[in-house]
Structure 1
Amino acid sequence: MLPLTRRGFLRASAAGAAVLPALPAWAIDPIKRPSAKPDLKLSLAAYSFRQALDLKKPTMTMFEFIDLAAELPLDAVELTSYYFAETTPEYLDKLKAHATKKKLAISGVPVGNNFCLRDEAKRRVEIDKVKAWTERAARLGAQTVRIFAGNLEKGDTLEQAQGRVVAAVNDCCEVAVKHGILLALENHGGITATPEQLLALVKPVNSPALGVNIDTGNFRTPDPYADVAKIAPYGVVSQVKTEVNPTGKKTEEADLGRMIKILKDANFHGYVALEYEAKEDAKTAVPRYVRELRKLIG
């Protein structure tokens, strides 16, 4: 009998209790949640401190980021792959132990990739990168790996690019199932600029290891709130931004209460990570927004 949730299926698969079959329905249908009551947990994205964590001239280590997060009312941290000083097993084990010591889970590991590339060798590099980070995320005890689709190259067609992305994601999902990780495809512009474009990539993937990373600030459409609601039923993780960018309007402060209500109305189960990108200094803005989100999430 099939498990009721993708996470449950992945746990069984990782333990050797199941073999991945071709199951289009897992991706075609909205995710079956384990209960009728929403379950949101609050995380903080390391990307919020990207200037300080930039490996070219860092003023903060990933360990110090975890220390900072431990002072806030958080359940977890999201450790962006761009800022890992090392990727050795020893380093990953130390990060995991440090987060555990600070009573924080590691919610996910965002990865940057481009599966639209027409050059097969270059696209294979991107696929191998996602697979490697999936294995690292499993070692860290993370639940999700955020991935991108990418952007159309000059002279390419949307249909051809979509085919390459779906094939690449299917390939990566095999490793994700093996390690009990959920891949989360983000609405990140390019060929995922609208809900319809994003779901056109999610629905054909024959794996329970794929869901959506709901980025609340990435839809530059007439009604970003309505579009977030369209993808929320497919979400396995969410990155909440403090601003939205409606088409034809200036960037404006996001209604965080409205965004959290959209997630709750979709019976979302998973981590909600604050990903701060606004102009105010992160060290002063992030604690304020974390406290606001904590109240909204409960």
Structure 2
Amino acid sequence: MPAPAIEPIRRQGRPLLRLGLAAYSFRQLLNLSRTPPTMTLDGFIDLAATMPFDAVELTEYYFPQTTPAYLAGLKGRCTRLGLDVSGTAIRSDFCVNNAGRLKMEIDHCKRWVEHTSRLGGKTIRIFGGTVAKNDKEDRARRQCIDAIQECCAYAGQFGIFLALENHGGITGTAEQMLALVRAIKSDWFGVNLDTGNFHSKDPYADLARLAPYAVVTQVKTEIRRAGRKAEEADLKRLVQMLRTANYRGYLVLEYEAAEDAKTAVPRHARILREMCG
């Protein structure tokens, strides 16, 4: 019997925020198009260990290979340094209006379920995708729901949660997110709450609507309201929002602002550590 449509997550205990660092924060250095890249995932893990983080989030874009031996090496490195692998983050598009491509997207997600399990991760960040030209959002949404449910059924066999990010396209607004989230029937599904990806008049209000469904949160240091330039995020307000939702999980710093990540990330790590305890 399928699980009922997802409801806000009921969490026992008090709010608990564990601090993580997304590999994407150092995307310029990890870029595999450079030969060789300036930083490897091993180097990223080592760097994270010098800052007050509890975990790392490993982004698929920066894996030079995904052999069992390589994944085991990354997991072992994290273990030796006292870091969790909170999860992985992958690129996906479940709105594609082509059966062959959709199967490729689903198969790709399932492969990363296996990779994430080998790494000891708990969640996989996924995207919903973008409605193709000449397609209809209702059709794309139904397909997206079915595809995610299929992937969740597989992920559940490994104890992995699939976490849908608010990331433009079919997930660009709180209303679009909720239309998907409330329809997906799986115990292994939740939201990857990205605090920088709602661009409405009141992003904080939109984020608060999704916070009860979050299984992982990516915190950005900036927000951008509709029709306005980027502004510094109120990190204290974001942390309090998560506490109000009784969030228990990883708060992953995904740094994207203009300042060099090598100086900005350590500073924001200290600020967030003070807020999270």
TM-score range, shorter chain: over 0.9
What TM-score do the two structures reach when normalised by structure 2? 0.98
CA distance in 2, matches of 1:120, 1:203: 25
* Contact 1:116/1:161 (8 A) holds in 2: yes
Paired amino acid for 2:194: D
Paired amino acid for 2:4: P
* Contact 1:108/1:143 (8 A) holds in 2: yes
User: Does the residue aligned with 1:113 lie in a helix, a strand or coil?
Assistant: coil
Q: 2:248 aligns with which of 263, 266, 269?
A: 269
Q: 1:216 aligns with which of 187, 195, 200?
A: 195
Paired amino acid for 1:77: V
Matched with 2:4 is 24
CA distance in 2, matches of 1:205, 1:74: 32
Question: Is 1:42 equivalent to 2:22 in the alignment?
Answer: no
Q: Counterparts in 2 of 1:5-20, with a 5 A limit?
A: none
Question: Is 1:52 equivalent to 2:52 in the alignment?
Answer: no
What TM-score do the two structures reach when normalised by structure 1? 0.91
Q: 2:179 aligns with which of 200, 205, 215?
A: 200
Matched with 2:118 is 139
User: Does the residue aligned with 1:116 lie in a helix, a strand or coil?
Assistant: coil
Cα RMSD (Å): 0.7
1:213-242 alpha-carbon deviations (Å, 9 max, x no partner) = 000000011101111000000000000000
User: Does the residue aligned with 1:79 lie in a helix, a strand or coil?
Assistant: strand
1:105-161 alpha-carbon deviations (Å, 9 max, x no partner) = 000100111000010101111111111001110111101000000011101111001
Q: Counterparts in 2 of 1:1-298, with a 5 A limit?
A: 21-25=1-5, 27=6, 29-35=7-13, 37-57=14-34, 58-298=37-277
Paired amino acid for 2:118: R
When structure 1 is superposed on structure 2, of 251-260 and 199-208 the one drifting more is 199-208
Q: How many residues align?
A: 275
Paired amino acid for 2:77: H
CA distance in 2, matches of 1:110, 1:167: 20
* Contact 1:242/1:256 (8 A) holds in 2: yes
* Contact 1:43/1:274 (8 A) holds in 2: yes
Paired amino acid for 1:176: A
* Contact 1:145/1:182 (8 A) holds in 2: yes
* Contact 1:276/1:286 (8 A) holds in 2: yes
Paired amino acid for 1:31: I
